[in-house]
Amino acid sequence: MSTSHKTYLGNPHLCGGLKRPFYAVLFAVLSTCVVGIRTVLAEEQGQAQGAAALTVAVVKPSVQDWPEIVPASGWLKPWHEAVIESETSGLRITEVLADVGSIVKKGDPLVRLNQETVLADLRKEEAAVATKEADLAKAKADADRARQIGGSGALSDQKKVEYLTTEQTAKADLESEQAALESQRIKLEQTTITAVDDGIITSRSASLGAVVSTGTELFRLIRQQRIEWQAEVSAQYLPQVEQGQNAEIKGQDGQTFQGTVRLVAPTVSSDTGRSVVYVELPKEPRPRVGLYVSGNINIGTKRALTVPETTLVFRDGINYVFAIDQAHRVHRIRVDVRRRRESRVEITAGLIGDEKLVRSGGAFLSEGALVNVEGAAE
C-alpha cells in the first residue's frame, strides 16, 4: 500500500472531513425521494376519492292523489240560440226597443210595427161579426117557429127545411167571421214582437222604418244566457267521461272558467276520431261566445309518484334524474313523465319511490360524480 493511501486512511481528521458532506448529500437525496413518493400517493388517493363536483339538496319521490284529467279543446257556443222573426208581412217598424247585449225576459217587447192597418181590419171584422150575429138571431127565430108549428100543417115541409137550413148556415157564417176576427186580433198582437225566452241579444237586424215580411230575422238570442263549451275529446277517453264531471277551461286572456259536463255525444267523428262533450258554463263570469279554447275534464283522482320539476334534466329529448348512493356519488336514471301539476311532475317509469334524488342542479352533473349532500332528504 502506498504512503498516500495510508496517510488518508490513518488520518482521522481527513476522514471526518470527508464524511460530513457525504451524509448531508445523502440525506437531501432521501428527503427528496420521500416527498416525491408522498406527492404521488396523495395524487393517487385524490384521483381515487375525487373532489366533490357540487353541493346539493336531496329529495325523495312522493306518492300523492292527483286529479285524473282529460285534455280537450273546442268552441264556446250558445246552449240554444233563438232566432226572432216577423210573423206578419207588409208592416213598417215604428220602434226598436232592444239592441245587441240587451238582457231580456220572456215576453219583453223588442220591436213594434205599424198598427193602423191592422186596427182598421180589426174593426171591420168586429162589424162583420155583429152582422152575422143578427142574421143568426133572425134565422134562429124562424127555425124555432117552424119547429113549433111543424106538425099543424100551417107550414109546408119544404118551408120548414128552409128555415132550419138557414139557421145552420147563419151559425156557420158567424163562426167564420169570429175566426176572422180572432185572426185579426192575433195579427194585432204580432205587431209587437217579443222575446221568446229569457236571454241576451247577440245580433240585431231590425231597423227603424223597415217594412218587414213574414220570416224576416230581427234578432238572435242566447236562451237563458247559457253558454257551453263544445269540447272535442279523443275517443280513447270517452268511456271515462260522464255527465256531471267537473271541467276547467282556460280563456285566451288567462282567465279560467269552471263547468260541468252536460252531455256526451253518442257518435265519434270518422275523420278525426274525436267526439264532442258538451260542458255547461256558469252565467258569471260570462265567457265570450265564438272563442276556441282548451281545457281539461276531471274524471276522478289517481295515485301518482311525483317529484319536483327541478329534479328533471332534459337531454337529447329524454328526461333524467340523478340518484345519490351511499358513497355520495350520483347515477343518472331515465324516467318517463306524464301529468304536471303546480311545480311537480308525475313519474310513470324509472323510479321505485325510495331513491334519494338531487333536488336541483342536475344539469351540472355527470354519471358517477361525487357530491356534497346538504341537510336531510325532503
Q: Is the pLDDT of residue 376 over 80?
A: no
Whether the CA torsion 27, 29, 32, 38 is positive or negative: it is negative
Residue 276 pLDDT more than 60?
Answer: yes
Q: What is the pLDDT of residue 50?
A: 58
280-314: pLDDT as tens digits: 998 777 778 888 999 999 888 888 888 988 888 88
Position 151 scores a pLDDT of 64
How far is it, in rounded angstroms, from Cα 26 to Cα 45?
29
Residue 142, pLDDT > 70, answer: yes
- Taking the C-alpha atoms of residue 137 and residue 341, their distance in angstroms, rounded to an integer, is 86
Residues 169-196 pLDDT 10s: 999 999 999 999 999 999 999 999 999 9
Q: Maximum distance among all alpha carbons in the chain?
A: 207
**What is the band of 22 on the pLDDT scale with cuts at 50, 70, 90?**
low
Q: What is the CA radius of gyration of the chain?
A: 50
pLDDT for 275 equals 92
pLDDT tens profile 319-360:
888 888 888 888 888 988 888 878 888 888 888 888 888 888
> pLDDT over 70 for what percent of the chain?
84
How much is the pLDDT for 99? 94
Residue 104 binned pLDDT confidence (cut-offs 50, 70, 90) = very high
Q: Is the pLDDT of residue 245 over 80?
A: yes
The grid cell for 283 is: 252565467
Averaged confidence pLDDT in the chain: 83
Residue 7 pLDDT greater than 80, yes or no: no
Nearest CA to 150 among 139, 164, 170? 164
pTM: 0.59
pLDDT at residue 95 is higher than 80: yes
User: What pLDDT does residue 42 have?
Assistant: 39
pLDDT level of residue 6 (50, 70, 90 thresholds): very low
Mean pLDDT of 91-104: 94
For strand 54-59 and strand 371-374, is the pairing parallel, antiparallel, or unpaired? Answer: parallel
Q: 124 pLDDT exceeds 50?
A: yes
- Burial state string for 25-59 with b = 16 or more CB within 10 A and e = fewer than 16: eeeeeeeeeeeeeeeeeeeeeeeeeeeebbebbbb
Q: What is the pLDDT of residue 197?
A: 94
Q: Are strands 313-315 and 292-308 parallel, antiparallel or unpaired?
A: unpaired
- Give the residue with greater pLDDT, 159 vs 207: 207
Q: Taking 90 as the threshold, does the pLDDT of residue 2 lie above it?
A: no
Determine contact, residues 298/245, Cβ cutoff 8 Å: yes
Give the model's pLDDT for residue 279. Answer: 94
Q: Is the pLDDT of residue 8 over 50?
A: no
Q: Assess whether pLDDT exceeds 90 at residue 251.
A: no
